Amino acid sequence: MTTFHGTCLCGGVKFEVDADPGTLRFCHCTSCKHLSGGAGTVNFPASPSAIRIVEGHELIQSFTPEGGSAKSFCRNCGANLFGGGWPDSDRCSVRVTTIEGPVDADIGVHLFVRSLEPWETLPDDDAQRFETTSR
């Protein structure tokens, strides 16, 4: 288990998370595209109880898209922090883009590859691909 330090773009939200990422999960779904402004989000799973908000709790807002799980972001800068229903789920996802310093892990799975856009190319990696979720 490693303790990672995370922050949003403006630095208003700071958090710590104890996790053992192993591999990362790249979600290409349309919600993740919308909220990220790019190809999607790259995440590792964590238990919500393993996430400690150190600063800026009041800045964190959540949005739940229809048919999806809550996604949480910094109200000040818009940076997406957590997905998968944090803090009210058993497992949530942490956006690896919030973590300070390199996270030494490869992409293990590509999710929602059915939502690939014409301008998006999957890397030639060994990661498993799923049309939707891995479950």
* Cβ atoms 36, 78 nearer than 8 A: no
Report in angstroms how near the CB of residue 111 gets to Zn ion at its nearest.
7
Residue 4 or residue 112: which is nearer to Zn ion going by CB?
Answer: 112
- Position 113 contacts Zn ion (CB under 5 A): no
Among candidate residues 65, 58, 60, 1, the one with its CA nearest the CA of residue 31: 65
Closest CA to 95 of 1, 34, 10, 17: 17
Q: Which position among 17, 32, 60, 96 is part of the footprint of Zn ion (CB under 5 A)?
A: 32
Determine, following the binding rule CB under 5 A, whether residue 27 of this chain makes contact with Zn ion: yes
Based on CB atoms, which residue is closest to Zn ion, 2 or 117?
117
Place of tokens 């999957």: 122
Q: How far is the CB of 50 from Zn ion (least distance, A)?
A: 21
